[in-house]
Amino acid sequence: MSGRASPEKRMASGLGKCLKMLKRRPESILLVSDADRIARRADIFELIQRQGLGHRVFEAASGMSVNDIIATGKHHSIQAKTETDAAMRQAGMNRYRERGGYMGSPTIAMRSKTATAAKEQNTTKRRSEVFTVITDLVRVNRGRKPSYTEICDELDRRGVRTGQGHFFTPVRLAQYRKSNRTEWNSALDSYSRPRRRLNHIITTIQTETRRRRLSRRRVALLSQVALQPSHDQTRALSPDPLGAGQHGWRNPRQNVGVSSKGCRGPPNLSEAL
């Protein structure tokens, strides 16, 4: 962190973390090699003193605390020296440019893009290797989810390291899982997912086969009903034993014994005798 950084940036750096630890641990102190390692601006020293931590931050070279440094005015001399050094460096760079020199590299932008692309490629490769290990362990264990320790041991055996070149630990894997939750759950489900899909396909085929069988049976029944003649058609096609005529009915008591010539008349008594 530059000595000319703002207080907000200084509090967000390692100095801010140390001051937070001092607040959480009242028995601790902060020891630095030189006073300019604390800060190079006077307002940073005064900010530490206002927080009530000036008596717990010490300079190892002289044994002075921040309160002592402020009392002697050393923090102002540190700031003045920092500003003087910055002005001298700027003047030297200006003289170098005036003589035709240039600072930095003309291809720095391209190098930055190349480095970013290589970093993204390595990250993608490392993510793929981690999830491949998890998938292999799940399949070997027949669906049982491996523990963080088992995953770390397998990653170590295959030579997979973190982005900083460290070994994977259960804590690092827990953080890795939080940042890649979807891929992690997919790798853990790699054993059961194809079996669920196969079960779904079999169930769908059985349901469709049953539906088609019932549909063909329904069509066959409807065809049989359509081919059978109706009741009226049956009576029209069958002979009329009673001579019902076109009306298809008659009273069985009507015209009993009636000849084709009309009324039969009185009975013949001679025939009766």
* Model confidence pLDDT, tens digit, residues 167-181: 999 999 998 899 889
Identify the helix (H) or strand (E) that includes residue 30: strand 30-32
- Give residue-wise pLDDT tens across range 115-160: 888 889 999 999 999 999 999 999 999 888 999 999 999 999 999 9
Question: Using CA atoms, how far apart are residues 249 and 245, in angstroms rounded to an integer?
Answer: 7
Which residues does 187 contact at the CB level (< 8 Å), separation at least 6? 131, 134, 135, 138
- Give residue-wise pLDDT tens across range 39-87: 888 998 999 999 899 999 999 988 999 999 999 999 999 999 989 998 9
Question: Using CA atoms, how far apart are residues 3 and 13, in angstroms rounded to an integer?
Answer: 12
Identify any residues that bridge with 30 across adjacent strands, giving them in sequence order: 57
Rounded alpha-carbon distances, angstroms, from residue 225 to 216, 220, 222, 232 = 14, 9, 5, 15
DSSP3 helix / strand / coil % (the chain, rounded to 5): 65, 5, 35
Residues, the chain, total?
A: 273
- Please return the burial class of 132, using the count of CB atoms within 10 Å of its CB with bins 0-12, 13-18 and 19+: middle
Task: Specify the residue for token string 């169930």.
Answer: 203
First-to-final CA distance of the chain: 154
Identify the sign of the CA torsion 157, 161, 167, 172.
negative
Q: What is the pTM of this model?
A: 0.42
The alpha carbon of 136 is separated from its chain's Cα centroid by a whole number of angstroms, namely 20
